[in-house]
Structure 1
């Protein structure tokens, strides 16, 4: 059985490649996250996942960066 794929976008306050790297490391380790794209310039993270939007939001919050779901 395939789980539904959802695409979510988040505004994450990132100021450098270290910030975006921290977000990337967390998303790589998050079960249910299939792929993601971090755009440092736009401070935008796009995630394709089979888990709820709130679960991805909580995972990104672990990076310590201010984040809001769009």
Structure 2
């Protein structure tokens, strides 16, 4: 028997991050459509699930959706 597991996604407040973090995440991007790095992102929305945290936004150059996955350091 095959069971489908749905990833439970929870919205987060991107703007709760420091201004420096926000700036870094919005600048350090990869656009799959443009195939270019660091074009920038606008209209960010942050999400989390059990295993990951990510920010979705729109590429500054082409307007397509771009996703930046966040890896948080264990300190």
Q: Same fold (TM over 0.5)?
A: no
Bigger radius of gyration among the two: 2
Q: Compute the TM-score of the two structures, normalised by the length of structure 1.
A: 0.33
The structure showing larger relative contact order (alpha-carbon pairs under 8 Å, at least 6 residues apart) is 1
Indicate the structure with greater helix content. 1
Indicate the structure with greater strand content. 2
